[in-house]
Amino acid sequence: MKAKKYITPLIFALLCLTTACDFLELESPNDINADNLFKDAASAENALIGVYSSLQSPSYYGGGYLLIGEPLSGNSATGGFDNSNIDELGAQEVTSSNIIVEEMWYGIYNTIANANRLIEGLATIDDPAFDPDRKNDIEGQARAIRAMAHFDLLRFFGEHWDNASSFGIPVISTVQKIGDIAPRSTVAQTYTFILGELNAALALVNQVDRDPAFVNSGTVHAMLARVYLYNKDYPNAILHADETASEGSYILLDDVDYASIFNDRQTSESIFELAFDSQNRSRYNGLTYARPDALNTEVNFLAAESLSDFFIGRPGDVRADLADFDPGNNDTSIQPNGRSQKYRGESDEDSPAYIFRFAEIFLIRAEALGYSAAGLADLNTIRNMRGLGSIDPGAGGFLNAILDERRAEFNFEGHYYFDLARVEEIKPGGLLDLEAFRAILPIPMRELTATKGAVEQNPGYE
Amino acid sequence: MRKYYSLLVALIVTLSAAAQSDKITVSGSVTDQSDGSTLPGLSIVEKGTTNGITTDSDGRYSLTVAQNATLVFTYIGYTPQEVSVNNRTSIDIAMIADATLLQDVIVVGYGTQEKSQITGAIASINNEEFKDQPVTNLASSIQGRVSGLNVTTPSGTPGAGLLINIRGNNSPLYVVDGIPMISQSNSSLSTSFDTEGNVVGSGQNVSSISDINPNDIESMEILKDASAASIYGARAANGVILITTKRGKTGKPTINFNAYYGVQSIARPIDFMGSEEFVGLVEEARQNDLDKYNADPLYFGAGFDPTVLTDPLANFDLSTGVDTDWLDEVTRSAAISNYEFSLGGGTDKTKYYSSFSLFNQEGIIIENYYKRLNYRLNLDQQVNDKLTVGTSAFVSYSKNRRSFNDNTYTGIITNIVGSSPLMPVYDANGNYTSFEDYQASWLSDNPVKSAKEIRAITTSTRFLGTVFAEYALVSNLKLRSSFSTDVTYTTDNQFKSPITADAEAVGGEAFEGNYRNTTWLNENILTYTKAMGENNLTLLGGFTLQKSVTDRNSITGQGFPAGSLELISSAANIVKATGDQTLWSLMSFLGRVNYSLKDKYLLTATVRADGSSRFSADNRFGYFPSASVAWRLSQEDFLQDNELISDLKLRLSYGLTGDQEIGDFQSISFYSPTRYYGFAGVRLRNIADPSLTWQENKMLNVGIDYELLAGKISGSFEFFKSNKSKLLSQDAIPGTTGFPTITRNSGEIENTGFEWSVNAKVMDRGDFQWNLGFNFTTVNNEIKNLTNDGILVSAYSDLAPTHILKIGESVSSFWGVKYLGVDPASGDPIYQDLDEDGDVDSDDSQIIGKAFPDAFGGLTNTFKYKKFDLSIFARYSFGNDVYNLIRPIYESLGYSNDDVSLFSVYANNATTVRDRWKQPGDKTDYPRASFINANFYENSSQFVEDGSFVRIQNVNLGYTLSSWKIFSSVRAYFEVQNLYVFSKYKGFDPEVSSTGGANEFTAGIDYGAYPQARTFLIGFNFNFK
């Protein structure tokens, strides 16, 4: 009977069902079940690479994070196709539905989630072949990175200059489950967590290696110096700046070589430089330069005319060359704005994220030391290396001199907006003449909706 | 033999007639009214006598009858006709297929049923109604013809995907000859990029349902309610479209050759300004601003330099005499043609149908085309009394030269809407002009250059085949088993020449993508029928297995040598390579009971259990039951022989269907491969909800089928209420989890609606017939529940939110600032400052419209006079708004897009802004021209428009010759597709969808979609003898 050949598969299939057939048990060939990942040393190494990869998110150190603050501080004018998200940054009037800000929020918490998962996963690995030092190193790197991520959030979304403020950020130190909602910690609690993690990491990470593409003890010292400065704990800021400055791994480049920081990769000034390559691109070039004859519609973050004015007041400063306002190099639609030259390399688009450069250590220490011989020495060290003579602005002008130096040094590297907020100069009549609440960004509306009111909006943005 | 016999009879009759002086001989031919084919073997009897004859093989007859006799023409499947002779000697008759549709057999899930026995809401549409239309996608051929089905054409691009919505639910399941078919876009070529080359939207969608040749289709059935659809269980929540292809019929072979050729051109062009008017607008804008400045030097802030309002703008004068019409430069009159050959026939035991077709459509945008080649073979063989075997198979190949960036940023259309008419296409040396040298900073490249120098081609090869066997185990118990495969291979090749702005910096870029899918399906269905007196029972049970494996890979290279080397191997750098695989499987059990009592009371109950690999073991199986009852009132005594009501049926159904279309492996938290600094690693891909399970759709349907005046008027009313719950959604969760969204079951949407359809034989007077079909649907769509009430969504990932999901509102509600009009005194636009903080920004947003129509439908009129036939088909939609996000660009009113430097002009404008405010007191919706102020707010109701329309979709005038030379019939026709659109919409076409596909949450956005064409064509159908 011919029908047999059709009945057979039917019967076979029914049998298959009763004998726990795996017809419906499929596995994805592209992914690994997160619950089964952490088994051995290799899996921890892989997840660590994942943590670094998460830093490369386009909205975090892949581009967004270091550039969003530039128009807010006035260093950048915004271009683009009249996109309201970009326009809000340019107008320094960011709303809670701004998608760029929202994506940054998600991007940073994604890094925290990757780090948390690795930290918890590490504890479950029982692999005799896993070198305990390396295991500690991995844990230390993950903890340092999650501390940095929290700090990065605090700088944009929390009142980081005020240790008494209740407007910190949600601190996430464990793997989150569905339904977990984390309210905001206070600023003090946030700093406590960040500093606790960094200090713990300091003991765990590799003490010798100085590869700027990864976190090591040099990186952690530098991060500690930065966080203590923001938290106004000057002795500790000085302590860790000293550690970094004195060890000899990092060397400042002089005025002749200064531009090589951006034209080359991993110069001696880089403490933490997130690496990209042509197959793993960053957005810096696309956002700040695009192509030689680009119009203003194609470049989201133009160098603002005010930055040109700023450098005109600093003759001899080699850093002026990296903010290019030459009409011959910029389309008329861009002028009188210009473009930063820090992220060239249109063909590979591999411009790195300069997360920590050695120059910052001197400026941290100078600020922490205050107006003093040592403080002036640090400030003038940077000036001298950048083609400028020494100055003594006096006690009254010292902080402003440091702020100017930071602006000259780190424009288009994301510092200036935080610096102005940190010294509370974002206020009516301040160095940045905006309403004071604009010293930080609003918590994204979407996050407020998703947390059902558990997360409070920043004052002024309600 | 029969021919001679007929002649003999005719001779005898004629002879006998000659003997009687009051008799005459009548002769003529009998044809099928619908296609003009001849009808051999048809019986003709002189009424009241036994005198009769049958038509010969050419459909001709000759019969001697009394001068005042009445001839009765009868033929199976056709309405009998009685014709008075009235001394005529020549009477040609066109027979009409059975007026009473009730005996029609309708395809239902896993079987067929007589229409009278149907208890669910099923619309059936026959080949007659959609053949020979110049469309690539079969769904566009049924647009507007069925109530409850809303088909939107979001793009005029050849081969484009359509938005198919059944009763408020997008993306139905297509089942082709019993095979649930993969119908999504398989191309991995994204066509929506931002200026950095990042993908920002799904852009132009290419539908793989276009692989099917619409003319191969015998009928389509749309399963609208749960009763009809739930036999497809977990995939039926959005309705089901059953497609049945043509099969051979017993009898003489029918050989057809069909051809049409036509010309398409843009149907509703936008009138853009010429050079003089453009320059005038910008200068007016500058003068307006200068007036403001002169009145109040602080109007534009302290430190404002008024010379930007007076200095001549660079490259912005009329001295060159250039006046380029960019729309004209990138659009064209484009040819469309289709050639098709089909062959069908068979004996009692063997039946065959085969067809071959070649479709070729040029896009109305230069360079763009779509070509398709189809081959089909359907065979049925009766092996013995018990066993029948058969096969259905088709192969198609399509090649699509894509239009780059349809309906999004940096596209050809988005570029031309702002292009300066002062810019020539080519410079004096014949090279493309550099857009940087001309004012209009909106551009991202010379549009003609984009069209020509970005070459993107998608090809698709598809095989879909089934073998089946049907075996009668005992006389009333049948087993049908089938095995089907659906194999698709799609390739994408895109080359951006080094001279394009997109790839200039990298020296050219090429992308090559491959998609391979193999899906197999085994179905085993047992059917048992039993008639016991007045009870009729049909039982059906089945078991099916399906598995699908998809491989995708792609490679991107940059840096190309000059000349024609465009393939990846010529690239200096390989910058990206991907390769991944995904798979799913489905195991299902299904059952159905059909019971009828006295042919009056009908009951259908179905259940399907689906197990899917997409859900975790605990949530794997879903059960989808439904039940429906119907009462045929017209069979009751009190309606017997009622002259008005010839048939009346009440239907009631309730049931549950499901949806599993969420992508594979979403219920597991994964680590995915990643890399950093030359090291391979893994990174969290998602946070997963292990309890992820089916989306459910509960639907209640009440229907009335009616047939009045012996079939002169027929149709149905339907009322439905459907609740989609446990929506498979990308639900917002706190970002502190590391992810913005989770794939989970969340939310509930209710669709309630009413449908009415009517078909009427308005007039039937001998030579002249007029039939009318009308349908009307209204659907109210409301979000009933959400995890996150008020979540904002954006049509493009880099644009400000365009939509909101809010309880109590329709999905696809637009989000933006409310525009209050123009201040007649100052000419400035006024927006509602909702939060009263003095600023108008996105914090002032509110719901400002919705994409969902209130009502839609279609109207068909067909006329027949002698050998002429004419059909006019219109469809309509009311109450749908369009968020025209591209219009701010071409109504930017002389704006410079730069609040600091003010050197550049933003974009050319459409002539609609001629109505702009010019002097105090002007009452208008268009604000004053301004160089410095943006007198438009993109995400505001200023650009929300009423998208209601009535479209004269198709007009077809034909002439049929029967039995001419070697043809049994020849029909020649003239056709116009998309003749006219009655609409106030200012964009190219009110039917839009920026997301190109099925995302109902971001529906209704126009971002410069590919314009729709108007097509004039002539065609021929040849039926060979």
Q: Mention every residue, 6+ apart, whose C-beta is less than 8 A from residue B486.
A: B179, B181, B182, B462, B463, B464, B517, B518, B519, B520, B521
**DSSP-assigned states of every residue in A149-195:** HHHHHHHHHS-TT-TT-S-------SPPPTT---PPPPHHHHHHHHH
Per DSSP, the three-state class of B668 is coil
Nearest one of B332, B337, B334 to B412, comparing CA atoms: B332
Instruction: Give the rounded distance of the alpha carbon of A106 from its chain centre.
Output: 13
How many CA atoms are closer than 13 Å to the CA of B636, on its beta-carbon side? 10
Q: Do A347 and B791 touch (CB under 8 A)?
A: no
- For tokens 């050759």, name the residue: B257
Identify the pLDDT of residue B199: 58
| Best residue of B386, B444, B575, B671 to probe chain A, by most A CBs closer than 10 Å | B671
Write out chain B residues lying below 8 Å of A149, CB-based: none
Per DSSP, the three-state class of B775 is strand
- Rounded to a whole number, what is the distance in Å from the CA of B523 to chain A's nearest CA? 9
φ, ψ of residue A152 to 5 degrees: the values are: -65, -35
Name the amino acid, one letter, at B963.
S
Identify the pLDDT of residue A3: 47
Nearest one of B96, B104, B135 to B215, comparing CA atoms: B135
Mean pLDDT of B86-106: 73
What does DSSP assign to residue B1009?
A: P
Residues 94-123, chain A, touching B (beta carbon < 8 A):
95-99, 102, 105-106, 109-110, 112-114, 116-117
- Rounded to a whole number, what is the distance in Å from the CA of B424 to chain A's nearest CA? 18
φ, ψ of residue B4 to 5 degrees: the values are: -65, -40
Identify the pLDDT of residue B41: 75
Average of per-residue pLDDT values in chain A: 92
The answer to whether B591 touches B541, Cβ cutoff 8 Å, is yes
Position A272 pLDDT exceeds 50:
yes
Position B201 pLDDT exceeds 90:
no
The answer to whether B761 touches B769, Cβ cutoff 8 Å, is yes
Whole-angstrom distance between the N-terminal and C-terminal Cα of chain B?
18
Nearest one of B591, B580, B612, B1003 to B814, comparing CA atoms: B1003
Cα gap B629→B596, rounded to integer Å? 10
Per DSSP, the three-state class of A369 is helix
- Count of CB atoms within 10 A of residue A416's CB? 27
**How many inter-chain contacts (A to B, CB under 8 Å) are there?**
324
Write out chain A residues lying below 8 Å of B668, CB-based: 28, 31, 33-34
Per DSSP, the three-state class of B981 is strand
What tokens appear for A150 in the block?
Answer: 């929290």
Q: Do B583 and A95 touch (CB under 8 A)?
A: no
Cα gap B373→B355, rounded to integer Å? 11
Write out chain B residues lying below 8 Å of A95, CB-based: 841-843
What does DSSP assign to residue A141?
A: H
User: Using 50, 70 and 90 to split pLDDT, how confident is the model at A4?
Assistant: very low
Name the amino acid, one letter, at B447.
P
Interface check for B672 against chain A (CB to CB < 8 A): the answer is yes
pLDDT winner (highest mean) among B211-225, B587-601, B793-807: B587-601
Q: Do A46 and B682 touch (CB under 8 A)?
A: yes
> Closest to B734 (Cβ–Cβ): which among A23, A181, A286?
A181
Position A9 pLDDT exceeds 70:
no
Nearest one of A266, A275, A212 to A244, comparing CA atoms: A212
Identify the pLDDT of residue B816: 94
The answer to whether B617 touches B644, Cβ cutoff 8 Å, is no
Position B22 pLDDT exceeds 90:
no
Write out chain A residues lying below 8 Å of B687, CB-based: 113, 176, 178
Interface predicted TM-score (ipTM) of this complex, two decimals: 0.91
The answer to whether B892 touches B934, Cβ cutoff 8 Å, is yes
Query: Quick one: closest CA in B to A336, which residue?
Result: B901
Cα gap A368→A366, rounded to integer Å? 6
Mean pLDDT of B917-928: 93
Q: How many residues belong to chain B?
A: 1025
Interface check for A74 against chain B (CB to CB < 8 A): the answer is no
- For tokens 């609040």, name the residue: B899
User: Using 50, 70 and 90 to split pLDDT, how confident is the model at A20?
Assistant: very low
Name the amino acid, one letter, at B736.
T
Cα gap B433→A151, rounded to integer Å? 49
pLDDT digits (tens, 9 = 90+) for B512-537: 989 899 999 999 999 999 988 889 99
pTM of the full structure? 0.86
Instruction: Give the pairing type, strands B949-964 and B868-878.
Output: antiparallel
User: Using 50, 70 and 90 to split pLDDT, how confident is the model at B101?
Assistant: very low
Cα gap A227→A230, rounded to integer Å? 5
Write out chain B residues lying below 8 Å of A80, CB-based: 195
Percentages (nearest 5) of helix, strand, coil residues in chain B = 15, 50, 40
Identify the pLDDT of residue A320: 96
User: Using 50, 70 and 90 to split pLDDT, how confident is the model at A117?
Assistant: very high
The answer to whether A339 touches A330, Cβ cutoff 8 Å, is yes
Least confident of A81-95, B157-171, B689-703, B889-903: B889-903
B938 exposure class (CB count in 10 Å sphere: 0-12, 13-18, 19+):
buried
Cα gap A318→A315, rounded to integer Å? 9
pLDDT winner (highest mean) among A23-27, B687-691, B868-872: B868-872
Write out chain B residues lying below 8 Å of A39, CB-based: none
Q: Do B471 and A84 touch (CB under 8 A)?
A: no
Mean pLDDT of A405-433: 96
Position B266 pLDDT exceeds 90:
yes
What does DSSP assign to residue B732?
A: E
φ, ψ of residue A146 to 5 degrees: the values are: -70, -30
Q: What percent of chain A has pLDDT over 90?
A: 83
Each as own residue / partner, the long-range contacts of residues B19-23 (CB below 8 Å, 24 or more positions apart, any chain) are: B22/B66, B22/B67, B23/B64, B23/B65, B23/B66, B23/B67
Identify the pLDDT of residue A336: 86
Interface check for B734 against chain A (CB to CB < 8 A): the answer is yes
Bridge partner residues of B607 (DSSP): B591, B625
Task: Give the strands of the sheet with B169-170, arranged side by side.
Answer: B149-152, B163-166, B169-170
Q: Do B684 and A50 touch (CB under 8 A)?
A: yes
Buried b (16+ CB within 10 A) or exposed e, A418-450: bbbbbbebbbeeebbebeeebbbbbbbbbbbbb
Cα gap A98→A137, rounded to integer Å? 38
| Best residue of B313, B736, B794, B805 to probe chain A, by most A CBs closer than 10 Å | B736
Query: Quick one: closest CA in A to B579, which residue?
Result: A30
Cα gap A216→A446, rounded to integer Å? 36
Identify the pLDDT of residue B14: 47
Nearest one of A154, A150, A146, A156 to A187, comparing CA atoms: A154
Write out chain A residues lying below 8 Å of B903, CB-based: 332-333, 335
Cα gap B591→B539, rounded to integer Å? 7
- Count of CB atoms within 10 A of residue B979's CB? 18
Position B685 pLDDT exceeds 60:
yes
> Closest to A335 (Cβ–Cβ): which among B409, B685, B901?
B901
Average of per-residue pLDDT values in chain B: 87
C-alpha distances (whole Å) from A380 to each of A270, A310, A412, B240, B839 are 20, 18, 22, 76, 44
The continuous run of DSSP H or E covering A225 comes out as helix A217-230
Position B673 pLDDT exceeds 90:
yes
Interface check for A10 against chain B (CB to CB < 8 A): the answer is yes
Cα gap B585→B520, rounded to integer Å? 10
The continuous run of DSSP H or E covering A263 comes out as helix A260-263
What tokens appear for B839 in the block?
Answer: 């600023």
Write out chain A residues lying below 8 Å of B195, CB-based: 80-81, 286, 290, 297-298, 300
pLDDT digits (tens, 9 = 90+) for A160-184: 999 999 999 999 999 999 889 999 9
Nearest one of B773, B971, B1016 to B871, comparing CA atoms: B773
Query: Quick one: closest CA in A to B736, which residue?
Result: A109
- Rounded to a whole number, what is the distance in Å from the CA of A28 to chain B's nearest CA? 6
Q: Do A25 and B617 touch (CB under 8 A)?
A: yes
Interface check for B678 against chain A (CB to CB < 8 A): the answer is yes
Interface check for A88 against chain B (CB to CB < 8 A): the answer is yes
Query: Quick one: closest CA in A to B787, which residue?
Result: A450
Per DSSP, the three-state class of B191 is coil
User: Using 50, 70 and 90 to split pLDDT, how confident is the model at B305?
Assistant: confident
Mean pLDDT of B628-649: 89
pLDDT winner (highest mean) among A417-426, B574-583, B615-624, B723-732: A417-426
Per DSSP, the three-state class of B139 is helix
Interface check for A444 against chain B (CB to CB < 8 A): the answer is yes
User: Using 50, 70 and 90 to split pLDDT, how confident is the model at B19?
Assistant: very low
Q: Do B198 and A24 touch (CB under 8 A)?
A: no
